[in-house]
Amino acid sequence: MIRPVLLIALPLFFAFLLPVIGLWNKKGVKYVTVGVMGVELLLAVALLDEVLLHPVIDKIGGFVPPIGIVLMVGRLGGFLTLIIALSAFVISIYNLWEDKEPIVRYNMLSLLLLMGSVGMVITGDIFNLFVFLEITSIASYGLASYNRDARGFSGAIKYVVLGSIGSSFVLIGIALIYAQLRTLNMLDIAHRIGEMDPYVRLIAFTSLFLGFGVEAEMFPLNTWVPGVYDGAPNAVVSMFASMPAKSSIFALARMMFTVFSFSGFMWFVAILGLITVFFGEMVAFAQDKLKKMLAYSSIGQMGMIIMGLGIGTAMSVEGAFFQMFGHALAKALLFLAAGYMIYAVKSEKIQDMVGVAKNPLVGVPVVIAILSLLGMPPFVGFYGKFYIVLGGIDARAYGIIALFLAATIIEVVYYARFIKVAFAKPVREYVSPEPVVYLPMMVFAIVIVVFGIFPAPIFAILSKVSMFILGGI
């Protein structure tokens, strides 16, 4: 028996405690953070173990659901929590290498980013979701500009402007729902959604969708992504790709399926996802800086997830969740690797990175991650793309699937170009990576390979996805 609230209370407790610890030992704070994230990972595993049996509902304050706030975790919520906790833990090991001044505040911000992302996944109350969205985005604003150079600040300010407009839209959506139903609990809203005026319901959904779309890197609202991913510290970028982005896309999915009970083919969402894919991949193809290329590629991948959710058959949604898993691991790995490569080469351009990945400690994980992103069979990424395509064929959306496959070819081309440079004959000696640099990458790569060869446990977790589409937790 584990309480979901502990997953929120633990990082929050240590975030409050860190300044006190930092008074007598500044260096020790980093190790405390790693320890806390490790415990969080264990809690997430225990939680997943429990939600496989039955959905967990935790009543805060002991009030019955629509009266008080509840946390509710279903199978998918448990899965997402595990993805977030795993990436946070592994990236926090990498943080031991990169010291960011002031250290104590950096660690507090990353703990609270973890707390916000987990909270967005497990909460069952729509206004509480907004509060956690704000926690996540304010922590992200702080971390995005942590380099305190012009590039970091100019990326972050775009993020702040778009993010706060987005959250205002979320609040307007909540206001519309509240005005018509006088409740904030998601399941209560879902049960009584028919009482809402259809027009008001449409506007409320649109504004919530646009609001969460900012964080989920959806097409017209993702202009902040390249600037932030370019200017933020490398470990932070890895966190962004694997934590807040995933939790907000899950929030998007819950808005669509759980709260508003749309099911079946949503052409609007699917086409928006497809445009996002095309935009991301085309622009990524034209980049010559490594981190920008990865950032745009990340937009493309998020578009694939949105598309999978929009097609709305059980298979494609299953594929979308698989894609979330694969993308979180692979992109986090690649951004960590990019941090090392830029440090070793002292340049951000791809053409300068001749032979930097020749060292097998870096090269092998990078190749695994890229192959997984491209959807090659023995890796996790394969199942994601494969099931999205199968689901699309199931829904007879042949046009969308054909365009999607065309976009994938663009992706293959630019990653192949990168591999060709990075594995060429080295022109000079590069510093070899320290253990804290290559160990996190190894962990991610091992997870990608293991779950690529034995995907059965994940299919078991995702087996109830059709219930989620029909409005379950």
Partner 1 sequence: MIFYAASLALVAIGIYVVISKRNLIKIIIGLDMIDTGVNLLLISIGYVRGGTAPIENGNYPLYVDPIPHALVLTAIVIGVSVMALALSIVIGLYRHTGTLEIDEIRGLVK
Partner 2 sequence: MKRIIAITLSVLIFLIFMTAFARVKFGNIALSKYFYFNPVKKQMTRDSVPSHYLKEGIKETGSTNIVTAVVVDYRGFDTLGEVTVLFLASIGVGALMYIKREEKRKVREANEIVKTASAFLFGFIVLFGAYIFVHGHLTPGGGFPGGSVIASAYLLLYLAYPKYAADHSKLSVLESLAGLTFLVTGLLGIIFGGHFLYNFLPYGVPRYLFSAGVIPVIYVAVGIKVGSELTGIVDSMMGVRE
The residue ranges that bind partner 1 (CB under 8 A) are 127, 131, 134, 138, 141-142, 145, 148-151, 153-154, 156-157, 160-161, 164-165, 167-168, 171-172, 174-175, 178-179, 182, 184
Q: Which is nearer to partner 1, 179 or 431 (CB)?
A: 179
Q: Which residue(s) pair with 57 in the sheet?
A: 72
Work out how close the CB of 288 gets to partner 1 at its nearest, in angstroms, rounded to a whole number: 12
Please tell me the distance from the alpha carbon of residue 354 to that of residue 341, in angstroms, as a whole number: 10
Polymer length in residues for the chain: 473
Partner whose binding site includes residue 373, from partner 1, partner 2, none (CB under 5 to 8 Å by kind): none
Work out how close the CB of 94 gets to partner 1 at its nearest, in angstroms, rounded to a whole number: 25
Q: Is-contact 391 264, C-beta < 8 A? A: no
Work out how close the CB of 58 gets to partner 2 at its nearest, in angstroms, rounded to a whole number: 7
Q: Which of 106, 257, 321, 340 binds partner 2 (CB under 8 A)?
A: 106
Partner whose binding site includes residue 67, from partner 1, partner 2, none (CB under 5 to 8 Å by kind): partner 2
Q: Which of 15, 253, 344, 458 binds partner 2 (CB under 8 A)?
A: 15
The answer to whether residue 151 forms part of the interface with partner 2 (CB under 8 A) is: no
Alpha helix segments (H runs only) across 346-423: 360-374, 380-394, 398-422
Q: Is-contact 33 107, C-beta < 8 A? A: yes
Burial of 325-364, coded b for 16+ CB within 10 Å and e otherwise, reads bbbbbbbbbbbbbbbbbbebbeebebebbbbbbebebbbe
Partner whose binding site includes residue 108, from partner 1, partner 2, none (CB under 5 to 8 Å by kind): partner 2
Q: Is-contact 114 11, C-beta < 8 A? A: yes
Residue 63, burial from CB neighbour count under 10 angstroms (0-12, 13-18, 19+): exposed
Work out how close the CB of 140 gets to partner 2 at its nearest, in angstroms, rounded to a whole number: 10
Q: Is-contact 218 306, C-beta < 8 A? A: yes
What is the full DSSP assignment across 90-102? HHHHHHTTS--SS
Q: What are phi and psi of 59, to 5 degrees?
A: -90, 120
Q: Which is nearer to partner 1, 168 or 432 (CB)?
A: 168
Partner whose binding site includes residue 63, from partner 1, partner 2, none (CB under 5 to 8 Å by kind): partner 2
The answer to whether residue 188 forms part of the interface with partner 2 (CB under 8 A) is: yes
Residues 16-55 that bind partner 2 (CB under 8 A): 16-20, 23
Q: Which is nearer to partner 2, 166 or 375 (CB)?
A: 166
In this structure, the dihedral spanned by the alpha carbons of residues 251, 253, 258 and 264, taken in order and rounded to 10 degrees, is 170
Binding site for partner 2 (CB under 8 A): 3, 5, 9, 12-13, 15-20, 23, 57-69, 101-102, 105-106, 108-109, 112, 115, 119, 125, 127-128, 131-132, 134-135, 138-139, 141-142, 145-146, 148, 172, 176, 179-185, 187-188, 191-192, 197, 199-200, 203-204
